[in-house]
Amino acid sequence: MIRVRDLSIGYGRTAIQRHLDFDVERGDIFLILGGSGCGKSTLLKTMIGLLPPLAGSVEIEGGSKGGAPRFGVLFQSGALFGSMTVGENVALPLRSWTDLEDEDIHTIVRWKLRLVGLDGFENHLPAEISGGMKKRAGIARAMALENDLLFLDEPSAGLDPISAVELDDLILTLNAELGVTTIIVTHELASIFKIGKTCIMLEGDAKGIIGRGDPRELRDHSSDPRIHGFFNRKATGVT
């Protein structure tokens, strides 16, 4: 669904990663891995158009319904508007990009919140819910427009182990039941091995991709010490 060709990313004249080539298949859960500061979030921002590429291209095929592809984004903090209720946050894309009546928007919002396990929290402010619930609300907002693509930037960061597992389960459910193509930036080992189907690994010094494929295969069979070190860090709950 996504073709990245000879892509260089960075800021100004400073390249963080160069000559990236990879494909994301429709319906995949695709992980962007690597250590801190290697350019994972910069790559995601370039893929969704928030940053211009220094060189190369990102091509996204048409949506599942034949039109232009739609995508939603979950940023690291959840990025909910604090002065708006959870329901108002989820409704925002619908009010901004559709002509739906209030009653229809309200119905969709309740459905999306139920989908992510937040039924009954529509009128809560972000300050009144937990970190894991904020991430779930952010996913509900990202899915409000029936998107074909979902981009998640460190979805499990800062969550307790139970909330992180619940969020991983939600991502798997959305992928299995709705067929949503999901691109995830993460460094959390438990999440990587639970939800990852395909990955690329970026490395800061190399300024490129040093590994790609099934993360479990890379963990068990890669001879690259950088890949081995990344996947064999001590982590609780990894199987």
Residues of the chain falling short of pLDDT 70: 62-68, 234-239
Q: Which two tokens stand for residue 97?
A: 């990009």
Q: Which two tokens stand for residue 185?
A: 């930036």
Predicted pLDDT of residue 238? 43
Q: Model-level pTM? A: 0.88
Q: 200: which strand partners? A: 32, 212
Q: Which two tokens stand for residue 46?
A: 């370039």
Could you state, in order of their start, the residue ranges of all structural domains in the chain?
Answer: 27-51+68-231
DSSP-H helix ranges across the chain: 40-47, 86-97, 102-115, 131-142, 161-178, 189-195, 215-221, 225-231
DSSP-derived pairing of the beta strands 55-60 and 29-33: unpaired
Sheet containing 29-33: which strands, arranged edge to edge?
A: 71-74, 149-153, 181-185, 29-33, 198-203, 208-213
Contact 31, 216 (CB under 8 A): no
Predicted pLDDT of residue 1? 86
The fold for domain 27-51+68-231 equals Rossmann fold (3.40.50)
Element (H, E) at 88: helix 86-97
Orientation of helix 86-97 relative to helix 102-115, angle to 10°: 130
Name the residue with tokens 């969020």.
167
Question: pLDDT tens across 30-55, in order?
Answer: 999 998 889 999 999 999 999 999 99
